[in-house]
Amino acid sequence: MMKNKLKLLFTLVLTMSLVSCKAQTLPLNTAFSTIPNGAYLKDTNNELAPYIGTYKANFNGNEITLYITKQENKLEESSHKNYYMDALIVKYIVKNSSGTILQDTQNNNTYNIKLYSISTRTAQNAVNLAYSGTNCNVGWGKVILKKINSNQISWEYKPNDITTTADKCPPTLDTTIYLPETKDLIFTKQ
């Protein structure tokens, strides 16, 4: 009888340990302050799916093509905690009016430029993205995409820092911000 109780107790403790070790899955828009280390923010309501695709727009003589995909379990690292989240990943190509490529993050891995979703605003039909900026992080900031209809999104880019100095960044690097610094630019799905 005692052996059976010990077996049962051991099984119960083992089961509880395994359950508590599993990463906690939370909704995509969980407040940052409440996310435990190692958690997974999952797109359970399919909020990211409407944005996936290839979109084009023209701005100041440049053609901008956005390639938006969804990445599951993207590691998000901060000084306070690490967690995983489903996110939109945006790669892009910017061409001038003669077709010359000014910047290509879709086919060129030499750029360490990141543009990815950090939250959704379902009531506004929008998604917030973090932009790392171009070389030396010039232009880092926030991009807001709003879903207008099934074929169009509206773009708003809010850069935080648009200049640099030679002591922060070698003058040989291109620090031009090629993304459109504007609000309400309409991109059309291709």
Total-model pTM: 0.83
CB 146 within 8 A of CB 173: no
Give 93-123 pLDDT, tens digit per residue. Answer: 999 999 999 999 998 766 678 999 999 998 9
Domain ranges of the chain: 25-189
pLDDT at 91: 96
Q: What six digits make up the tokens of 112?
A: 């360490």
Query: How many Å apart are CA 70 and CA 68, to the nearest integer?
Result: 7
Indicate whether 17 pLDDT > 50: no
Q: What is the CATH number that goes with domain 25-189?
A: 2.40.128
Give 145-189 pLDDT, tens digit per residue. Answer: 999 999 999 999 999 977 777 778 888 888 899 999 999 999 999
pLDDT at 173: 86
Residue 44 carries which side chain, given as an amino acid letter? T
* Beta-strand pair 40-42/25-27: parallel
Nearest residue to 132 via CA among 175, 188, 171 = 175
Instruction: Count CB atoms within 10 A of the CB of residue 180.
Output: 19
